[in-house]
Amino acid sequence: MKIALIGYGKMGRTIEAMGKKQGHDFPLIIDEHNPGDLHAGNLNKIDAAIEFSTPSAAPGNIKACLELGTPVVSGTTGWNEEFSEIEKVCKENHGSFFHASNFSIGVNILFAMNRQLARIMDRFPDYTASMEEVHHIQKLDAPSGTAISLAEQILEESHRLSSWRLQQEEPPRDLSRVKPVEHQSEVLPIRAIREGEVKGMHSLIYDSEVDRISLIHEAKSRDAFAAGALLAAEFVQGKKGVYGMSDLLTL
């Protein structure tokens, strides 16, 4: 395939290196120095765009690709409030859009396990739920998109938790179905840590007076994310609509 890379940081370079080994070409690379190159002439023969940029730039990048008829795969997080608008643009242009907060197959297995564990733990009020995520210091959004996805899953399965909150952040962030927070036990706290070159670690913790249950995923390299993004670019070929990792992995 001929792939456009939008965002050429560490993730973009990892995707390029892995993609070339798989036989893909990358004739168009967009970063902060040449945003004007994202136009119809350059996208004309592109099979798919893979977008890993910044929360502020991602919606515009994705809209541009969809309006020009280019399937787009995005792993940028931190712009959820504009997702419904992107879905609308995708539908209006009969386009193909694939988004995931995390492209790792291991993390998506974690998603499945998280939902099941949350369903079980909802029956045991003596356990207090919390979450911690650790990433490299260059990561701009906090909490991570993966952490938000995990939190939303837990809230969907819980009768006691009604919202999540980034620790030291006020007021609590409420989802659409959330009722006013009455006491601390109804809030799922998320601790976000930025240090060193940590590729990504997410910990789900259920703590009681007698024991602790933890579910942890730790990324060892960016290769898992790159492999998933390339699979997604192959997956959207010939398809119309909005997709995610559950469609790719049929989880």
CATH number where 24 lies: 3.40.50.720
Q: Mean pLDDT over residues 112-117, rounded?
A: 95
Based on the domain organization, do 110 and 49 belong to the same domain? no
- Same domain? For 163 and 111 the reply is yes
Domain harbouring 156, CATH code: 3.30.360.10
**For residue 143, is pLDDT > 90?**
yes
Note whether 54 and 128 are same-domain residues. no
Asked if 72 and 135 sit in the same domain, the reply is no
Q: Are residues 59 and 74 in the same domain?
A: yes
The upper half-sphere exposure of residue 60, i.e. CA atoms within 13 Å in the direction of its Cβ, equals 11
Q: What is the pLDDT of residue 105?
A: 87
Q: What average pLDDT does this structure show over 48-68?
A: 96
- State the average pLDDT for the chain: 90
| Burial of residue 181, with CB atoms counted within 10 A of its CB: 0-12 exposed, 13-18 middle, 19 or more buried | middle
Same domain, residue pair 153 and 72: no
**Does residue 140 share a domain with residue 79?**
no
Give catalytic residue positions. 135, 139
**Cβ proximity of 83 and 176 under 8 Å:** no
pLDDT band at 222 (very low <50, low <70, confident <90, very high): confident
Residue 99 has pLDDT above 80, yes or no: yes
- Full domain range(s) for residue 13: 2-103+223-249
Global pTM reads: 0.72
How confident is the model over 150-178, as pLDDT tens digits? 999 999 999 999 999 998 644 445 544 44
pLDDT of residue 185: 54
Mean local confidence (pLDDT), 142-156: 93
Average pLDDT for residues 226-240, to the nearest whole number? 96
Same domain, 133 and 67: no
* Residue 123: partners with Cβ closer than 8 Å, 6 or more residues away: none
Give 195's contacts (C-beta < 8 A, 6+ positions apart): 134, 136, 137
Q: In the chain, how many domains are there?
A: 2
pLDDT band at 180 (very low <50, low <70, confident <90, very high): very low
160 shares a domain with 68: no
- 71 and 143 inside one domain: no
Q: Quote the CA–CA distance of 14 and 221 in Å, as a whole number.
A: 10
Question: For residue 41, what pLDDT band results from cuts at 50, 70 and 90?
Answer: very high
Same domain? 25 vs 73:
yes
Say if residue 59 is in the same domain as residue 128.
no
